[in-house]
Chain A
Amino acid sequence: MTTIVAENPINLLGRGIRNFFCGFGGLVVFMTRMLVSLRRGLPRRHVLVPILYEIGVRSVPVVLVTGAFIGMVLAVQTYTQFKMMHMESRLGAIITMTLVSELGPVLAATMLAGRVGSAMAAELGTMRVTEQVHAISALGADPVSYLVVPRFIACVALIPMLTAIADAVGILSGWLFSWQVLGINPHQYWMYAVQFVTGWDVMAGLIKSVFFGCSIAIVACQQGFHCGAGAEGVGRAATQAFVFSFIAILGMDFLLTVVLNTTYYLIWPQAVSLAITGAW
């Protein structure tokens, strides 16, 4: 019979902190290796194109579906609240603003982390376990250049496009639902959308998405490259790739929102007074 001994909470906390810093340090080292490899040169076309297709083109359907639903959900959720204040005609503004600055980038990144991040970690983990990564080294190639750099480039280059697709589909589905089901005047929907959402909001969302793409690629590839032995190790790497990417996405979303908003108000100080007095 196995006896489970409760561990001292201080020890547990200490180990947790140590593991966090070790994991973070590992990520930084891995990212540095990747950047050094990236500096040596871009991957060859026949290596990069299939990865671009897998990460970009094959992610479009899932981004379309989630974008469409989130646009409609936003319309449903905000309609009742806005109607109470007789402001339902301004649904277009809140849906568009929420999508381009927050939900579009975060949702596209979450979908990418779930669909592509886990798959990348599992694929690289399997290659590690079956010695294919060593085989790349043995054949005179750099595994990081061959496996990680193209995935990093694909994630970083394509996630802004996936975000733009999620934004566009969400706004369109929100418009369609507001117009056809909630009876909102389509002209007002678009008028307020254009009036309240600035180019900066769109750019801020896309800038965030680039950082999300970086974190997904680095976390997923690092988990795959350092996965434990056997099927269990590969499975754990795939799960951790998603969980850690998701945490990174949310953490970075918060930090980037603070940084980008601060930057915005530094560049255009008059916007602060508008925000305080309320443009609504």
Chain B
Amino acid sequence: MGTPAIEITDVRCVFGSQTVLSNVSLRIAAGETVAIVGESGCGKSVTMKVMMQLLRPTSGRIKWFGNDAETLSTAERQYQRLRLGYLFQGAALFDSLTIYENVAFGMRQTGEQNEQHIRQTVLERLDEVGLSQDIVSKRPSEISGGMQKRVGLARALALSPDVMFYDEPTTGLDPVNSRRIDDLIHSVRQSRGVTGIIVTHDLRTVRRVADRVVMLYPRNKLQNDVEQIIFDGSLTELAESPDERVHEYIGDEFDTNTPGEAATENRPPLLKSA
């Protein structure tokens, strides 16, 4: 196995008196799409934010593309971080900026591109996520939740990341928009070879886009010396896992006979209009 895209080792996260993560280690290989699942409060989003260094762990090591994120210089960390994209649960678009300015934000911050190139990239990314140019002058509050998620994805993709983090990408969306987001995650991987890390409760999304599943269990329900990651394997292995806790979470509906990529490929093409 080559250098993993993201690697966390013995990560521990304590907030006040509550231990959320305890000695969690995970390697994400370049090019794979990993779904992190588990019941609410088990630390899925915290794990992802720690990987992205949006949260500092109490202890543990984080490596981006083989480099220790803590020991990188400020400039190097800035550069490496631009290789990581993040789609937030609520899209986290900047309220005070237009859709255009939101998507252009990262590019403007780097200061490496002229405005003409930024404009072209913004329109291309919006088109890629199936949004028309008509919305560029609108504010985030003027578009729907599904469109906000797609703008959030366009904003992250504008910096051409090598790794994409998706924090509950389909939560709060109707089935049509959920499928649309799943298709986008899949097409981002297919067209760009982007490594994907998805935190989700939606097992349909897991089935559609993931090739590996990691299941976390709440720290407060475990004995001290027990591993917090209770499952790490393929979709087939997930369905066949002997662990009661895994089955309690996935229920009886998890059907690996409908693997993600095949199902996605058979679906109608992505809608290109808002």
Q: Measuring CB to CB, which residues of chain A are less than 8 angstroms from any residue of chain B? A: 126-127, 130-132, 134-135, 137-141, 146
Contact = CB atoms under 8 A, between A and B. Distances in A.
A132 B106 contact: no
B49 A134 contact: yes
Contact of B92 (A132, A140, A146): A132
B89 A139 contact: no
B145 to A, nearest CB: 13
Contact of A138 (B52, B93, B94, B110): B52
B109 A138 contact: no
Interface in B62-102: 78, 81-82, 84-86, 88-90, 92-95
A130 B159 contact: no
Nearest to A140: B82
Contacts of B86: 134-135, 138
B81 A135 contact: no
Contacts of A130: 90, 92, 95
B90 A138 contact: no
Contacts of A141: 105-106, 109
Nearest to A145: B109
A130 B141 CA distance: 13
Given A130-B90, A131-B88, A131-B90, A138 B95 contact: no
B222 interface: no
Given A132-B94, A135-B92, 7 more contacts: A126-B95, A131-B90, A132-B93, A134-B88, A138-B52, A138-B88, A140-B106
Contacts of B93: 132, 135
Contacts of A126: 95
Interface of B: 49, 52, 54, 78, 81-82, 84-86, 88-90, 92-95, 105-106, 109-110, 155-156, 159
A130 B155 CA distance: 16
Q: Mostly helix, strand, loop or mixed at chain B's interface?
A: mixed
Contacts of B105: 139, 141
7 contacts: A126-B95, A138-B86, A140-B78, A140-B106, A140-B110, A140-B159, A141-B109
B92 A139 contact: no
Max count, chain B CB within 10 A of own CB: residue among A127, A138, A141:
A138
Nearest to A126: B95
Contacts of B110: 140
A134 to B, nearest CB: 5
B155 A139 contact: yes
A137 B106 contact: no
Given A132-B94, A132-B95, A138 B89 contact: no
A83 to B, nearest CB: 54
Given A139-B109, A140-B110, A131 B82 contact: no
Contacts of B95: 126-127, 130, 132
Contacts of A131: 88-90, 92
Contacts of B49: 134
A39 to B, nearest CB: 12
Contact of B81 (A127, A132, A140): A140
Contacts of A127: 94-95
Contacts of A140: 78, 81-82, 106, 109-110, 159
A73 to B, nearest CB: 38
A115 B138 CA distance: 28
A67 B93 CA distance: 40
A131 B165 CA distance: 14
Question: Which of A134, A135, A141 gathers most chain B CB within 10 Å?
Answer: A135
B252 to A, nearest CB: 34
A65 B105 CA distance: 39
Contacts of A146: 109
Contacts of B155: 139
A146 B105 CA distance: 11
* Residue of B86, B155, B156 with most partner-chain A CB within 10 A: B86
A206 B89 CA distance: 46
A231 to B, nearest CB: 14
Contacts of A138: 52, 54, 81, 84-86, 88, 156
B65 to A, nearest CB: 16
Contacts of B90: 130-131
Nearest to A146: B109
B163 to A, nearest CB: 12
A37 to B, nearest CB: 11
Contacts of B78: 140
B82 A134 contact: no
A135 B93 CA distance: 8
Nearest to A138: B86
A139 B88 contact: no
A139 B82 CA distance: 7
B79 to A, nearest CB: 8
B161 to A, nearest CB: 10
